[in-house]
Amino acid sequence: RVVAVIMVGGPTKGTRFRPLSLNIPKPLFPLAGQPMVHHPILACKRIPNLVQVYLIGFYEEREFALYVSAISNELRVPVRYLKEEKPHGSAGGLYSFRDHIMEDDPSHIVLLNCDVCSSFPLPDMLEAHKRYGGMGTVLVIKVSAESANQFGELVADPVTHELLHYTEKPETFVSDLINCGVYIFTPNIFTAIQGVFTERRDRANLRRMNSFEALQSATKALPVDYVRLDQDILSPLAGKKELYTYETLDFWEQIKTPGISLKCSALYLAQYRYTSPNLLASGDGTKTASIIGDVYIHPSAKVHPSAKIGPNVSISANARIGAGVRLISCIILDDVEIKENAVVIHAIVGWKCSIGKWSRVQASFYLPSVHLPFPFHLNKLKLHVSNQAEGDYNAKLGITILGEAVAVEDEVVVVNCIVLPNKTLNVSVQEEIIL
Ligand code: GDD
């Protein structure tokens, strides 16, 4: 019996996802037309003998209530949201619900970070885990040496696949093999987490005997019940024949910013070709819009037959796409209206936005692999990439993001901007963050 646990975090963790996380918990933001957390849940469904999926986080319960009941019915596997009173860290959060998790008497616990985009090769990983015979198996991938330091870097034995060394986001390069945030554990993981608590308590008691040291460490110590899976469990257990690695050669991305979510949406749309081709728009017939490449259109959206859509476009519920509209590489959220002959390229258009006739909402540089049917000049503008506040992070990626209910009036051009909710743009803007 297998129980899956998806760590969804909470509101304070989603700040880099602004302005889109102002409306919706980040795990419910749609990628390829489905909430982010939907993709790992579907992957869990492929695990033999899966009995339960838990989402653990510190968002309000009501934010997940509708979603978990809908997905439980759809998959016929119970999905439940468990709310932590306060953040306990990635391992502490798991531990705080050990009684719930152990109720089903699982032989294995699949643990996933919600903010990763992957093909989640869970059945194969579970088989490998059983062969290795350890307490845990970590999904790993090779990335470029320059990007590795944003992740947990690790060294594995090339023959036995044992995890030999683990360092979380190291300052100096260790390895280009990184932790994907997807794990399989036996229930012994709870004993390992308990061990961290006991050690911390013992250390705190010792310190109490030495009041000077106690004063010094009180300022930097983590709360006793805050346990991080990576630093507090993986690092100390590496090289002890407890942990093993399973390398994926398939796609994997971490979803920290809206800009990356556009890429992840493309990856999941491409995956639909194999897993759920029925979700991809076909564009056959004279009454439907021209469709290019992978496109998702919610059944309630209205798209004019003369619009041209794709590749990498997802259109959510009740959106209205007018005559002659051109959409390339974008996420169009619920209730958006895009009027005649507007163009959206490499952008995320928030809930209830309206884009006027002949307007353009786009990135300043985007090199589409398709031929564009209109003059498109690459903008040579240098982006300000250094020293930026977190909110500016997306600008580096070359994308335009409109928050909820932004109105772009007719014939306005918006290039590489992040626009906060409820703004009206009546003049063209470029390279700006509009607060
Ligand atoms: N429920 C709950 N409670 N979830 C949490 C908490 C908590 O207190 N803290 C973090 N999470 C969730 C986050 O939402 C995320 O899904 C996951 O746990 C890991 O978050 P972090 O601990 O902030 O780590 P990270 O995302 O910066 O990096 C981790 O994931 C990378 C892969 O995406 C590390 O494990 C890296 O080594 C790894 O490469």
Q: Measure Cα distances from 23 to 171, 239, 417, 420 in Å.
A: 35, 44, 19, 11
Lining ligand 1 with CB less than 6 A are 7-9, 13, 56-58, 84, 87-90, 93, 113-116, 151-152, 168, 178-181, 228, 230, 254
pLDDT bucket at 435, cuts 50 / 70 / 90: confident
Q: What is the mean pLDDT of residues 275-291?
A: 86
The neighbouring-strand residues paired with 142 are 177
Ligand 1 mean position to 113 CA, how many Å? 6
CA of 182 to the centre of ligand 1 (A): 10
pLDDT of residue 14: 59
Q: Cα of 205 to ligand 1 centre, how many Å? A: 29
The pLDDT value given to residue 294: 97
Task: Tell the residue nearest (CA) to atom 24 of ligand 1.
Answer: 90
Write down the mean pLDDT value for the chain: 89
User: What percent of the chain is modeled with pLDDT above 90?
Assistant: 78
344-347 — which CB contacts under 8 Å span 24+ positions? 346/262, 346/398, 346/399, 346/400, 347/399, 347/400, 347/401, 347/402
Which residue lies with its CA nearest to atom 37 of ligand 1? 152
Mean local confidence (pLDDT), 304-314:
97
Residue closest by Cα to atom 11 of ligand 1: 9
Rounded-to-integer distance, Cα 179 and Cα 397, Å? 23
pLDDT tier for residue 211 given thresholds of 50, 70 and 90? low
Separation CA 375–CA 300 (nearest Å): 32
d(CA 110, CA 244): 14
Region 237-264: what's the mean pLDDT?
Answer: 95
Q: What is the pLDDT of residue 285?
A: 65
* Model pLDDT for residues 120-150, shown as the tens digit of each residue: 999 999 999 999 999 999 999 999 999 999 9
Is the pLDDT confidence value at 117 over 80?
yes
187 vs 227: CA distance, rounded Å: 17
Q: What is the pLDDT of residue 376?
A: 34
Query: What is the arithmetic mean of pLDDT over 111-123?
Result: 97
Between 306 and 207, the more confident residue is: 306
Tokens 């398709």 — which residue?
370
Question: Shortest CA distance to 57 belongs to which of 12, 100, 18, 3?
Answer: 12
Which residue lies with its CA nearest to atom 10 of ligand 1? Answer: 90
